[in-house]
Amino acid sequence: MKFFDALQRIDRRIIYIVMGLLVIFPLVKPLGLGVSSGPRARTLFDAVDSIPAGRTLLISVDFDPSSMPELYPMLAALMRHAFARDVKVLLCGLWVTGAGLADKAVTEIPPEYGKKYGDDVVYLGWKAGIDAVILGMGENIKNVFPTDYYGHPLDSLRMMNEVVRLRDIPMAVAISAGTPGYTDWLNFAQSRYGLRLGAGVTAVSAADAYPYLQTGQLTGLLAGMKGGAEYEVLVQKKDYSRAYMPAVAAMDSQSLAHVVIMLLVIVGNIAYFATRKRGA
Amino acid sequence: MKRTIPLAIVLTMGITMMVQFFVPHPVSVGYYDLTTRWIRIVGAFALVLGTGSFIMFHSDKVRRRRQGWYYSIISLVALVVTTVIGLGWGIRPGSILQNVIYANFLVPLNASMFAILAFYMASAAYRAFRARTKEAALLLIAAFIVMLGMVPIGASIWGKLPELAEWVLSVPNMAAKRAIIFGVALGGIATSLKVILGIERGWLGGGKQ
Amino acid sequence: MHVSTDILTWVAVVLTVGIFSFLWKDNPFYKFCEHLFVGISLGYFISLTWYNAVYPDLFRPLFVQPLSEVSLGNKLLFIIPLLLGLCYFCRFIPRVSWLVRFPMAFVLGWGAGVTIPAVLQTSIIRQMQGTFLTPGIFARWDVFLWAIISFVGVVCSVLYFFFSREHKGALKVASETGIVFLMVGFGASFGYTVMARMSLLIGRFQFLLRDWLGLIQ
């Protein structure tokens, strides 16, 4: 019984060290578990795949560095998918501290496909007033964003001559870490302007998105880093990209981390019930 | 005047914005377009409130030499330096704000702040997550199914586990979350109506003015 | 192993370690990083608000663009939001601090007005449509069964939150059934939360092992 008492009193820092080492190990020595794509990611992939070449995919970058490992791989994979199919990409964001991440994607990814800023990709930037931004874009994007993130007037960007309002966009994907995020796009862009919307969300909020999937309000869902990994695999399977896949590379660690947490819960419960029985 | 006019503005704006949703007349659309532009401008100014409070709080802490006052100097200096660099050199690609401050200061600080939560979760899972009741056991089982079913190792243990996890999420979880959505939406609508009708006046602040 | 020689990568590493040091215990290094983060975030916010919002939406059309580009009438229309915005500054002048209520009233009234019909449509009407049993569910036995379970789950979970009557008899049975669904829902959220938190940690380790130490490709 002393053993169970000792288990109950184990120092939190030992748990931290075990946890840390078990997460690091598969990053250095991958276990090779592989990643398969679920139905929600496939639905989103098929929807983006069906956008005709030359049309525009809107991506709303509604996250910041705190959720970068989960959501940035989705943003990169979606952009690669679009560019490989000659679909143009329009980016905007509702999170001010996420602006730099969208800027990073716009700077790094289009050159991989020989795409040119202004012709194939435009980053509108961030604006205050969430619902006012979305509703304004429904009427006229240039009214909301007279200039892009870098200060170029929208009239000077060729791509923006074909995209005047949200109705000119066949599909949008909101990559959201919370509020503001995909629910705002549903509330204001879909209910009023009928925008077809897919979502990439942090795993924390993934379970909350299922009612919107069931009604068809959301076309596909990428949930957390696993969702990003699923999309990366789909993009690479169709030979749209050969780039490094950070989410796929993390999946072995993710698996092991989940097993560790489950073991901790089980061992904690065993120790608790063993000592409680004795106390009773 | 100090309370009546703001309440009248709220009432007018609330009612007109609700009505214009159902009236696609050019006058209604024009009004909607104009107020939407204004709201974005006014919304941007709200930053003044946060910045003012931030500067007042930290400068007061330094002035009165309260505990940890020297850390407030770091916050104030960081604010001034970032703002000067941002406003002075701009946000174009390759700018100091983007390439140095954002990429090498803001990103690691923000990402690490949230990354350490994983350790607390591990510790809490070990110490606090007890299956004391039937309901807690049910929660635990659902959590285990999702935890295993949603990562590659789940499929390696049992091929049907991802499907089971998807079912848990699509059927019972969906039903529970929809009930919560109903509650939140109705609560939000009720609060909005209370604000428009002047029943909820907390935003006016205290005092007799 | 190819350790980075980029000084900025090393800065990012030092800051990462500074935040992680809180795991051991609260310490001055962590506090330094924490306060640095707060100051930088606000400075970044101010810079972006100027370049992405205030300058293009207000300052440029009102003060920079000539009358040939923006008519006098349109310029005057910008005066109203400018005055409302300036009222926010009054918050810090005690004698006129009440003026801050004007922009707040404008924003609150506008927000409440646009939110009601939008939320009603997205979260009430569409969600109720999704809950109703339609002829389409008879196409397959499993679709039918899951639709019935979902319907029962939604109704019972809503009834669990109905506190205007004591939970006795049929209402007790329904609310207890509702708890089962809610617990499964919370369990699913917890499972996903574990995934989220671990992902963030893995992301940081990927940075340390890849960008800094060059241990992984």
C-beta atoms of C202 and A27 within 8 A: yes
Nearest CB among C23, C111, C195 relative to A226 is that of C195
Q: Does B3 touch chain A (CB under 8 A)?
A: no
How many whole angstroms from its chain centre is CA C27? 30
Q: How confident is the model at residue A275 (pLDDT cuts 50, 70, 90)?
A: confident
**What residues pair up with A93 in beta bridges, in sequence order?**
A126
pLDDT digits (tens, 9 = 90+) for B162-202: 999 999 999 999 999 999 999 999 999 999 999 999 998 98
Q: Are B112 and C13 in contact (CB under 8 A)?
A: no
User: Which domain CATH number covers A145?
Assistant: 3.40.50
- Whether residue A133 sits in one domain with residue A14: no
**Is residue A232 in a domain?**
yes
**C32 with B51: Cβ contact below 8 A:** no
Average pLDDT per 10 consecutive residues for chain C, totaling 217 residues: 92 97 95 97 96 92 91 92 94 90 95 94 95 81 92 96 88 95 97 96 96 89
- List pLDDT tens digits, range A193-231: 999 999 999 999 999 999 999 999 999 999 999 999 999
- List all residues of chain A from 157 to 186 with a beta carbon under 8 Å from chain B: none
What strand order describes the sheet that includes A171-176? A121-126, A88-93, A56-62, A171-176, A197-201, A218-223
Is the ipTM reported for this complex over the cut 0.90? yes
Q: Which tokens is A24 given?
A: 């690091």
Enumerate the residues of chain B whose CB falls inside 8 A of the CB of residue A64. 110
Q: Tell me, yes or no, whether C116 lies in a domain.
A: no
Would you place residue B209 in the very low, low, confident or very high pLDDT band (cuts 50, 70, 90)?
low
C-alpha distances (whole Å) from B141 to each of A118, B6, B129, B172, C194 are 51, 52, 12, 13, 14
Q: Please give the pLDDT value at position B208.
A: 55
Nearest C-alpha of chain A: how many angstroms from B131? 7
Domain match, A151 and A200 both: yes
- Please tell me whether residues A267 and A197 are part of one structural domain: no
Distance between CA atoms of residues C29 and C16, nearest Å? 11
A105 and A165 within one domain: yes
Do A138 and A166 meet the contact criterion of CB atoms below 8 Å apart? yes
Examine the domain organization and report whether A110 and A71 are in the same domain: yes
Asked if residue A272 is part of any domain, the answer here is yes
CB B39 within 8 A of CB C110: yes
| C105/B9 touch (CB, cutoff 8 Å), yes or no | yes
Q: What's the domain range around A208?
A: 39-243
Minimum-distance CB partner of C199 among A13, A70, A188: A70
- On whether the CB atoms of residues A72 and A83 are closer than 8 A, the answer is no
Could you read off the pLDDT of B83-132 as tens digits, one per residue?
999 999 998 878 999 999 999 999 999 999 999 999 999 999 988 888 99
For residues A93 and A177, the answer to whether their CB atoms sit within 8 Å is no
Chain C: give the shortest CA distance to residue B117, in Å: 6
R_g over Cα of chain B: 26
Using CA coordinates, name the residue in chain C closest to B46: C88
Determine contact, residues A231/A45, Cβ cutoff 8 Å.
yes
Q: Would you say residue C7 lies in a domain?
A: no
Looking at the fold, whether A124 and A259 belong to one and the same domain comes out as no
Q: Are residues A7 and A105 in the same domain?
A: no
Whether A162 and A218 map to the same domain: the answer is yes
DSSP, collapsed to helix, strand or coil, labels residue A55 as coil
- Dist CA C43 CA C34 (whole Å): 15
Whether residues A13 and A103 fall in one domain:
no
Classify residue C13: in a domain, yes or no.
Answer: no
User: Per-residue pLDDT tens for B133-173?
Assistant: 999 999 999 999 999 999 999 999 999 999 999 999 999 99
> How many other C-beta atoms can be found within 10 angstroms of the C-beta atom of residue C136?
10
Cβ contact, residue pair A135, C115, below 8 Å: no
Token readout for C132 is 């109703």
**What is the distance between the alpha carbons of residues A181 and A199, in angstroms, rounded to a whole number?**
9
Contact assignment for B108 to C207 by CB distance below 8 Å? yes
Please state, in angstroms and as integers, the Cα–Cα distance from residue C187 to each residue in B88, B139, B173, following that order. Answer: 50, 4, 9
Give the residue on A whose Cα is nearest the Cα of B113.
Answer: A66
Range(s) of the domain holding residue C165: 132-217
Helix residue spans in B150-196 (DSSP H): 152-157, 161-170, 172-196
A69, A249, A261: residue with CB nearest C194: A261
Distance CA A31, CA B153 (A): 10
Both A13 and A91 in one domain: the answer is: no
pLDDT of amino acid C202: 97
Confidence of residue B28 (pLDDT cuts 50, 70, 90): confident
The residue of C26, C123, C132, C195 whose CB has the most chain B CBs within 10 angstroms, and thus the best one to mutate to test that interface, is: C123
User: Is some CB atom of chain B closer than 8 A to the CB atom of C47?
Assistant: yes
Judge contact between C80 and C102, C-beta under 8 A. no
Cβ-Cβ contacts under 8 Å, C45 against chain A: 96-97
Residue B196, pLDDT score: 95
Tell me the C-alpha to C-alpha distance, in Å, between residue A170 and each of A194, A195, A220.
Answer: 10, 7, 15
Domain map (residue ranges) of chain B: 117-170
Question: Considering only CB atoms, which chain A residues are within 8 Å of B89?
Answer: none
Contact A214 B174 (CB under 8 A): yes
The answer to whether residues A136 and A9 belong to one domain is no
**Element housing C86 (H / E):** helix C79-86
Answer whether C45's CB lies under 8 Å from A95's CB: no
Q: Which residue is associated with the tokens 């800027």?
A: A103
Answer whether residue C58 is part of any domain.
no
> Residue A259 domain-assigned?
yes
Give the pair of three-digit tokens for residue B15: 């009612």
Task: Return the minimum-mean-pLDDT range out of A5-9, B46-50, C186-190, C212-216.
Answer: A5-9
Domain membership of residue A68 (yes or no) is: yes
Q: Are A174 and A62 in contact (CB under 8 A)?
A: yes
Determine whether the interchain pair A250/C200 forms a contact, defined as Cβ–Cβ distance below 8 Å: no
For residue A249, what is the nearest residue in chain C, using CA coordinates? Answer: C206
Q: Count CA within 13 A, CB hemisphere, residue B53.
A: 6
Q: What whole-number distance in Å separates Cα of residue B35 and Cα of residue B80?
A: 33
Whether residues A11 and A142 share a domain: the answer is: no
Is residue A224 within 8 Å of residue C199, measured between CB atoms? yes
Residue A155 lies in a domain: yes
Dump strand ranges (E) for chain A. Answer: 56-62, 88-93, 121-126, 171-176, 197-201, 218-223
Query: What is the Cα C180 distance to its own chain's centre?
Result: 28
Give the separation between CA A235 and CA C135, rounded to whole angstroms. Answer: 37
- Which of the 8 DSSP states describes residue A188? I
Number of domains in chain C: 1
> In sequence order, which residues have a C-beta less than 8 Å from that of residue B169 and are 6 or more positions away?
A206, A207, A210, B146, C188
How far is it, in rounded angstroms, from Cα A172 to Cα A161?
A: 18
CB nearest to C52's CB, from A68, A125, A183: A125
Residue C153 forms part of a structural domain: yes
